[in-house]
Structure 1
Amino acid sequence: MRPRLVAALAVLPLGLTACGGGAGSSSTPAAPPSIAAATADNRPVKAGGTLNVALNADPDALDPSISTTLVGREVFANMCEKLYDIDAQATLVPQLAAALPEVSGDGKEVTIKLREGVTFNDGTAFDAEAVKKSLDRHRTWEKSARQADLAAVSKVTVVDPTTVTLTLTQAFTPLTAQLADRAGMIMSPKALDAAGDNFGASPVCVGPFKFAGRTSGSQIVLEKAADYYDAAKVKLDKIVYKIIVDPNVRAANLKSGDVHVGDQLATTTVKGVQTDPNLTVVSGGGLGYYGITINTGNADGSTEKPGTVNTALAKSPQLREAFELALDRDLINKTVYNGLHEPDCFPVPLDSRFRAQDLTCPKRDLAKAKQLVQASGVPTPIPVTLTSPNDATNVRLAQVIQQMTKEAGFNVSVQTAEFVSTLEQGKSGKFDVLLNGWSGRVDPDGNLTNLITSRGSNNYSGMSDAGIDDPIKQAAAESDTAERAALYASAMKKAAEIRGVLYLYHSKYYLGMSKTVAGVQYFKDGLPRFVTAGFAA
């Protein structure tokens, strides 16, 4: 789709919410829902029934090796178990592994004991050979998006049917966290042999539910898995994921009862759902972030050597500072998101144990921003092209940024495109400034490596600085939490000086549910788990 330009708003009162109408757009939201609200709902549930779940987008291929979407991870959470998972406290726990890994003194040998008595959803035995086959596919297949996740792994060895050893090129502390995501999903070797590169068309894993069918752009159907090792815990007969992109339609379908669960409610619809007596809202997420990526050196693609980008912001760190100082993160959160996200200027969550206490964010300073613009000698207004996904909320955010920075001497033109197109522009470097985010990982390495280190696949800014790269690499080899936090702080402070990414907030996810549904698990990764879910008895 060709990008299109969005005209500036003539008058945009920043103290008011201008997205949508009705109860959901009030500037005074109900009390923010809590993560605990979902996990604490342990009402008895009856056996049977079909749970209709609205997804906000159509996932890409349901192949753990190549999937890159958050909505894909939502489906995998109930179909493809991993070696490890997180719990309600975001602590890493065993899933298909029998225990946390045993790591050698030098950190280069990682031994994983596996759960026994497990079968895949096609009846194939789960064992060390199956684990090796999946991990080798993740890390060596040329099409795999997991290669970077497992880059430190040089060899996977079957020790015995219930044990594998991973040999690493260097100590890599985030490995367990990587194995708690798609890089740790184990696929049926029988299905892999039969389907090859087309595994995602009919995926088979270990999980409480098995893949039953998919209609592109419409729905994905999962059925209760008879072969699941803990099948007695699973009450639902079926999950139907319905693709409903429009947030207002998702909310309306919740209210009508056409769906029982709606993912990623827009912050403008949260209050309207909360005030419905038949519905409840719980929150998850907080690991990821959203922000403004400024192209500082991505001339030929994010994985290529940085080059010269001929835009005013790319050429001037002072103008990037001025651009940031023109922004008011708190007001953006209130104006665009009804105060339901967590404003911040760093990629590691505010409550992370890896977050150094001395990381602070600049407040809006319009006077200083104007001084920096004037001192730059660049004629004003300074042209900036901001690329935004074309949904209403992102366009609203773009317009607020447009108005805030205008006061400092910038002339921001907003260009919109389909979400996937904006990612393609980001990877290829064909942009000036870009709105984009990251769903987040429980280990901070997953929010930094590949995102701000040199030639990282998701380093759309093209930043390349030893002051960023070296501490992040050192932190990955370090096991002491305090030392890792200090190293990450050093890297993030350097990145904050360069300003290739202006982080705006940590993304909270809001899950709307019928009060007839209980037993849903919803954690900081924002992935609804339905293994114990059902309809209240």
Structure 2
Amino acid sequence: MRPSPRLVAVLAVLPLALAACGGGGTSSTPAAPPSIADASADNRPVKAGGTLNVALNADPDALDPSSATTLVGREVFASMCEKLYDIDANSALVPQLASALPEVSEDGKDVTIKLREGVKFNDGTPFDAEAVKKSLDRHRTWEKSARQADLAAVSKVTVVDPATVKLTLTQAFTPLTAQLADRAGMIMSPKALDAEGDNFGANPVCVGPFKFVSRTSGSEIVLDKAPDYYDAAKVKLDKLVYKIIVDPNVRAANLKSGDVQVADQLATTTVKSVQSDPNLSVVSGGGLGYYGLTINTGNANGSTEEPGKVDTPLAKSPELREAFDLALDRDVINKTVYNGLYEPDCWPVPMNSPFRAADLQCAKRDIAKAKQLVQASGVPTPIPVTLTTPNDATNIRLAQVIQQMTKEAGFDVKVQTMEFVSALEQGKAGKFDTLLNGWSGRVDLDGNLTNLITSKGTNNYSGMSDPGIDDPIKQAAAESDQAKRTELYASAMKKAAEVRGVLYLYHNKYYLGTQKNVAGIQYFEDGLPRFVTAGFAA
């Protein structure tokens, strides 16, 4: 079996232009000022030893690769749960626990993956094809798994030999390698799975440069250097401690004081002050994802259930959703809430993505038309809307700006705050009217659409269900021609834009603050700081 032309063609277009920022679309504001460096350019030597304290902007959900859904959880996984594949500094897919890119049959339905040999899990258990099968089957079939949609095309996982697995697909699925470069490709210790079962997330064991030690909810997650890691000589730090610091000003203050040496997702309001500190540096990453406002249009009983009737003004009226959308000024939101450091947009595909069709444009704010639509709806004004938001200062500020903008069109937005993971749980359960939430993004656009806007998707909090969305996305996943995939995805996104279950606001860059004596961090477009080679400068 040889690498398929289907695979080679797709992988060739996946890298995104890391240097591109801002411009086009709705704004000419740069996504990152030129003074902010690329972390991968830091090649200073690192000395062995030490503890690195890293501030996270939220508490992750369960540290179980099968069920987890948060970006901060992915940040922690990056240090302790390796995947079959990963991305590099150019956003190209590369082997991680696999030893090579997949070999794909001509019909695209048989995918063979060769594995690294001589690898151990962090509990000393051998890593082999049986372990890979056990994890992939759990991702695919466990009722609590959020990976089912990621691997829906996989009908069977077969152990060929100890270093080879074969995935049998129901149809060709071009995004598979990209899916296996995220949580769907994380492989868990079979010994730990047998011991912990559904509670694996309380004591997770994978292959990684660091191993899980302890977690104090809302406070910290502690990892130690993993002695059984296959590339342990590359790992310099003795310990990683993730500290949960939700308030962005406190996070920046802790970085300045040295209580933490790294702070993730600096609020754009604190980037300048961190940059101006002679002892600190700021590096940028991310950009593959988006942030937006989800409107509950049909999530009556949970995102994975059949859509039902939602009795709110916005749910019942596409015209009111259009009016709400037209009342928003994405450029002003970027400037007033984010200091112009993000990239305003109304689509879930990055500006510089090879999947970005040329005709995906955004309408400007039109308050006059918004008022007309509100008046024509016949719904008495002010129209009540409840906006649920995570309880950090930046999201609350965003909610307040949306509240003021939409008030001009005749909406009365009440802001409801709650803890981040609780907000996601409410979203999945359909217990909301509108919700601020985002997605950290994937290199293959399928990862920004399937499971997020298709029927019964785990993260389809809006409850959208439309063949005009589902069918082209499914067709694109089975298609190897890049131009055809782009066309199909554009068709699905345009239909979703008519439904307006999600009002996309911007693509957010992530800003990582570090003490200047910290070196060796890798920070790519997925926004996940990698500490495998990190430490204190020698």
Q: Aligned AA for 2:85?
A: Y
Q: Aligned AA for 1:352?
A: S
Gaps of 5+ in 1: 1-27
Query: Residue 197 of structure 2 corresponds to which residue in structure 1?
Result: 196
Q: Would you say the 8 A contact 2:387–2:434 is kept in 1?
A: yes
Q: Would you say the 8 A contact 1:30–1:271 is kept in 2?
A: no
Q: Would you say the 8 A contact 2:60–2:421 is kept in 1?
A: no
Q: Would you say the 8 A contact 1:29–1:338 is kept in 2?
A: no
Query: Residue 154 of structure 2 corresponds to which residue in structure 1?
Result: 153
Query: Residue 335 of structure 2 corresponds to which residue in structure 1?
Result: 334
Q: Report the secondary structure of 1:460's partner residue.
A: coil
Q: Would you say the 8 A contact 1:34–1:282 is kept in 2?
A: no
Shift of 1:166: 0.3
Query: Residue 231 of structure 2 corresponds to which residue in structure 1?
Result: 230
Structure 1 position 499 matched with structure 2 position 500: yes
Query: Residue 382 of structure 1 corresponds to which residue in structure 2?
Result: 383
Over 3 Å counting, the alpha-carbon distance change for 1:252 and 1:136 in structure 2 is: same
Q: Would you say the 8 A contact 2:37–2:282 is kept in 1?
A: no
Shift of 1:34: 7.5
Aligned-residue identity in percent = 86
Query: Residue 42 of structure 1 corresponds to which residue in structure 2?
Result: 43
Shift of 1:30: 12
Residues 198-220 of structure 1: per-residue CA shift (max 9 Å, x gap) = 32232222111122222332222
Q: Would you say the 8 A contact 1:35–1:522 is kept in 2?
A: no
Q: Report the secondary structure of 1:269's partner residue.
A: helix
Q: In the aligned structure 2, how far is the partner of 1:509 from the partner of 1:517?
A: 18
Q: Would you say the 8 A contact 1:34–1:284 is kept in 2?
A: no
Query: Residue 268 of structure 1 corresponds to which residue in structure 2?
Result: 269
Deviates more, 1:286-295 or 1:481-490: 286-295
Residues 118-176 of structure 1: per-residue CA shift (max 9 Å, x gap) = 22222222211111121112212222222222111111111111111001111111111
Query: Residue 256 of structure 1 corresponds to which residue in structure 2?
Result: 257
Residues 487-514 of structure 1: per-residue CA shift (max 9 Å, x gap) = 0000001111111111001122111000
Number of aligned residues: 510
Q: Would you say the 8 A contact 1:283–1:509 is kept in 2?
A: yes
Structure 1 position 241 matched with structure 2 position 228: no
Deviates more, 1:384-393 or 1:460-469: 384-393
Residues 31-62 of structure 1: per-residue CA shift (max 9 Å, x gap) = 63688620110111111111111112222222
Query: Residue 8 of structure 1 corresponds to which residue in structure 2?
Result: none
Q: Would you say the 8 A contact 2:236–2:533 is kept in 1?
A: yes
Over 3 Å counting, the alpha-carbon distance change for 1:326 and 1:475 in structure 2 is: same
Q: In the aligned structure 1, how far is the partner of 2:56 from the partner of 2:86?
A: 22
Over 3 Å counting, the alpha-carbon distance change for 1:199 and 1:257 in structure 2 is: same
Over 3 Å counting, the alpha-carbon distance change for 1:357 and 1:29 in structure 2 is: closer
Q: Aligned AA for 1:32?
A: P
Query: Residue 17 of structure 2 corresponds to which residue in structure 1?
Result: none
Query: Residue 16 of structure 2 corresponds to which residue in structure 1?
Result: none
Q: Would you say the 8 A contact 2:150–2:451 is kept in 1?
A: no
Q: Would you say the 8 A contact 1:287–1:439 is kept in 2?
A: yes
Q: Report the secondary structure of 1:446's partner residue.
A: helix
Query: Residue 347 of structure 1 corresponds to which residue in structure 2?
Result: 348
Over 3 Å counting, the alpha-carbon distance change for 1:504 and 1:76 in structure 2 is: same
Q: Aligned AA for 1:96?
A: L
Shift of 1:429: 2.3
Q: Would you say the 8 A contact 2:31–2:340 is kept in 1?
A: no
Gaps of 5+ in 2: 1-28
Q: Would you say the 8 A contact 1:273–1:280 is kept in 2?
A: yes
Residues 76-103 of structure 1: per-residue CA shift (max 9 Å, x gap) = 1011111000111111110011111111
Q: In the aligned structure 2, how far is the partner of 1:179 from the partner of 1:35?
A: 31
Over 3 Å counting, the alpha-carbon distance change for 1:58 and 1:418 in structure 2 is: closer
Residues 434-488 of structure 1: per-residue CA shift (max 9 Å, x gap) = 2121222221111111211122222222221111110001011111111111100
Q: In the aligned structure 2, how far is the partner of 1:213 from the partner of 1:304?
A: 35
Shift of 1:229: 1.4
What is the CA RMSD across the aligned residues, in angstroms? 1.8
Q: In the aligned structure 2, how far is the partner of 1:110 from the partner of 1:144?
A: 22
Deviates more, 1:30-39 or 1:135-144: 30-39
Query: Residue 369 of structure 2 corresponds to which residue in structure 1?
Result: 368
Q: Aligned AA for 1:92?
A: L
Q: Aligned AA for 1:344?
A: D
Normalised to the residue count of structure 2, the TM-score between the two structures is 0.91
